[in-house]
Amino acid sequence: MHRLFTNSIKNNTMDLGLKNKIIIVTGGARGIGEGIVRVLTAEGAVAVIVGRSSVDNIKLQKEIENAGGQSFSVEAELSDPTACEKAVRAVALHFGRIDGLVNNAGVNDGVGLESGDYEGFMKSLHNNLVHYYLMAHFALPYLKKSGGAIVNISSKTAETGQGNTSAYAAANGGRNALTREWAVELLKYNIRVNAVIVSECYTPQYESWVKTLKNPDEKVREIISKIPLENRMTTAAEIAQAVVFLLSEKSSHTTGQLLHVDGGYVHLDRALANA
């Protein structure tokens, strides 16, 4: 229905000074995470894929390596706090350093106010927010040494609401708040912290949601008709390119920012989409 990548990543690379940098990407095997891994390795970085599926992790790692890139993978169920610590330790032991962290893993799990409960709400926070804190906490000693950067992937739901997704919206509000909080706390270490806010990006997870609807094709057409720039969804590659720029020294004086890569979906007048 839609492609994750609308252009060749290799043809869009520039020297961002990321060669051989060790960058952790949580949820890096699929969707937006995969896009980030592919752009990082095209820029010469070593992308470390951290996620629960060793099969998916290793599959992408082999693809990257077969194409001449550098990658590494760690299996970890990030909703488990001890797994976060072990994942960071595994990366540090293997490479001796960590130069950047992309917190990306999560799922819009539909834990609403009316339909949800305490257990579901707390589980969702662990799936979508708590590991952002833990990964940054455990990676911080290494980022202090390298002067690295952190990028948090967040969602429009924190700003616009969506309905029946209280926990995910709360998690994304927390992601945004932590981005600003960490940017302040880590100024003394020259560690930059930014977030990329995603609106409508067609990923395998998004496709799974669309397929649950009565008229999926019609719903997709309705959504893209409201996206002002080019009436299309954002691609994973476009999200990834913004993330990789924020990780690089090319954005050396940018911190505490919430960057919307969404074709104007959140902030522009929806009437413009059909102008």
Per DSSP, helices labelled H in the chain are 31-42, 54-66, 81-95, 118-125, 131-146, 157-160, 166-185, 204-210, 216-224, 236-247
What span, in angstroms and rounded, lies between the C-alpha atoms of 128 and 154? 10
Pairing of strands 192-198, 258-260: parallel
Which tokens in the block code for residue 108? 């819009």
What span, in angstroms and rounded, lies between the C-alpha atoms of 51 and 216? 29
3-state helix, strand, coil in the chain (%, to 5): 50, 15, 35
The residue annotated as part of the active site, out of 168, 202, 206, 265, is 168
What span, in angstroms and rounded, lies between the C-alpha atoms of 268 and 115? 32
168 is catalytic: yes
Planar angle of CA 120, 124, 127, nearest 5 degrees: 140
Q: Which residues contact 38 (CB under 8 A, 6 or more apart)?
A: 5, 9, 64, 237, 240
Q: Catalytic positions, please?
A: 168
